[in-house]
Amino acid sequence: SAAEKGGYQHFMAKEIMEQPKAVRDTISPRIQDGKIVLDNITLTAEQIKGFSKIFILACGSAYHVGMVAKYILEKFARIPVEVDVASEFRYRHPIIDDKVLVLVISQSGETADTLAALREAKKLGARTLSIVNVVGSSIANDSDDVIYTWAGPEIAVATTKAYSTQLAVIYLLAIYFADLLGNLSKEDYAYYVSQLQELPDKIAEILSNKEHIQFLASQFFNVKDVFFIGRNLDYAMSLEGSLKLKEISYIHSDAYAAGELKHGTISLVEDGTLVVALATQNKLFDKMMSNVKEVKARGAVVLGLTTEKNTKIEQEADHTLYIPEMCEMMLPSLAVVPLQLFAYYVASMKGCDIDKPRNLAKSVTVE
Ligand code: G6P
């Protein structure tokens, strides 16, 4: 009913709008007097220092969180991270021992592939930590440690607030590990913690501007193909932006590392192809602008996404989406929000069954 949907037309819209609260509820109990406190975790500092590798296992959007997490954890903890889809991991004789931390990410905590991968990892001797939304679920119960995302129930098949809260936990964990490993100065630690605390308000700021995204959706809702391009964190996050669009609007879309486009995929760009170019990372901004020129020269229409100060993107992009400034490592948490809204409005304009897209289930409990 409309009441259950909080006055919104779809659960997905309600859940997109709940993200500031969901992220705040996930972060704030774990920050006390400026320190990250994960006191229900039994993992010792000694164990964390001994990890030679972190393996992230998940499916779907949770796997996409893992893709972003690789960049974040490697940057902060300086521990090598490998990310794998759960259904692949099990069948390739993975190299695991007790020096490996297996990090499992799942909204439902019941995805059969993910649960089986977790059990396989445990059998091989890994230490396991899961990031789960549903309290008491199988994955939560079977892990050595669990950090809950406090997103609340998620009803729409296409995840939004679960993705955002999982990513928020990754930041907590990355800063926590970095501190224990002696990788952060006092000043940097305080800076990252305070940036994390600002995240909910910055997400809210983007949501208050949703009409602009609705307008952009009205310009593009009948396109046939969309390519999302970005580098590093932008690439990792664009996997999710692309999945959101294809799963609910049925428009073919793919995400590519921008530098890889020229090695094949650029042959698919023709007059009018929509390319969403993500350029939130300052060091990579100029490189991204060269990629934008490349696709424009082949006829692409470009929707650029960057932070507020990078107005020079307008020299190349046909349309732009701005997100607020904040520390670059956390920008995926902001950039995903306009992409969720874009997918939502496009699907809505196409008259799609947004909360229950064809062929999909919220939780897949068969392998
Ligand atoms: C299904 C859903 C996806 C979800 C994936 C993993 O395929 O349609 O949205 O990302 O399962 O679910 P989990 O509950 O493990 O996060």
- The reply to whether ligand 1 has any atom less than 6 angstroms from the CB of 343 is no
* Structure token digits, residue 46: 């000694």
pLDDT in the model for residue 254: 96
Residue 138 Cα to ligand 1 middle (Å): 15
Q: Which atom of ligand 1 is nearest to the CA of 60?
A: 10
Q: Which atom of ligand 1 is nearest to the CA of 61?
A: 10
362 assigned to active site: yes
Of the residues 21, 350, 356, 362, only one is catalytic, namely 362
- The reply to whether ligand 1 has any atom less than 6 angstroms from the CB of 157 is yes
- The reply to whether ligand 1 has any atom less than 6 angstroms from the CB of 59 is yes
Average pLDDT over residues 206-211: 96
Tens digits of residue pLDDT in 219-266: 999 999 999 999 999 999 999 999 999 999 999 999 999 999 999 888
Residue 354 Cα to ligand 1 middle (Å): 16
| Ligand 1 pocket test, candidate residues 363, 365, 367, most atoms within 8 A of CB | 363
Q: Left (φ > 0), alpha (ψ -120 to 50) or beta: where does 109 sit?
A: left
8 Å CB contact between 81 and 53: yes
pLDDT in the model for residue 284: 97
Cα–Cα distance measured from residue 34 to residue 66, given in angstroms and rounded to the nearest whole number: 26
* Structure token digits, residue 133: 């939304």
Angle between helices 161-180 and 331-349 (to 10 degrees): 170
Query: How much is the mean pLDDT over the chain?
Result: 96
Q: Which residues pair with 148 in a beta bridge?
A: 132
Average pLDDT over residues 185-213: 97
**CA gyration radius, the chain:** 20
Average pLDDT over residues 168-184: 97
Q: Which atom of ligand 1 is nearest to the CA of 360?
A: 8
pLDDT in the model for residue 103: 98
* Structure token digits, residue 114: 């993910």
pLDDT in the model for residue 342: 98
8 Å CB contact between 175 and 196: yes
- The reply to whether ligand 1 has any atom less than 6 angstroms from the CB of 147 is no
| pTM for this predicted structure | 0.97
Tens digits of residue pLDDT in 58-95: 999 999 999 999 999 999 999 999 999 999 998 989 99
Cα–Cα distance measured from residue 299 to residue 270, given in angstroms and rounded to the nearest whole number: 5
Give yes or no for residue 348 having a pLDDT over 90.
Answer: yes
Give yes or no for residue 206 having a pLDDT over 90.
Answer: yes
Q: Which atom of ligand 1 is nearest to the CA of 134?
A: 14
- The reply to whether ligand 1 has any atom less than 6 angstroms from the CB of 102 is no
pLDDT in the model for residue 38: 95
Tens digits of residue pLDDT in 7-17: 999 999 999 99
| Ligand 1 pocket test, candidate residues 64, 107, 115, 167, most atoms within 8 A of CB | 107
What is the complex's ipTM, to 2 decimals? 0.95
pLDDT in the model for residue 23: 98
Name the band, by pLDDT with cuts 50, 70 and 90, for residue 143: very high
- The reply to whether ligand 1 has any atom less than 6 angstroms from the CB of 310 is no
- The reply to whether ligand 1 has any atom less than 6 angstroms from the CB of 364 is yes
pLDDT in the model for residue 39: 83
Residue 262 Cα to ligand 1 middle (Å): 31
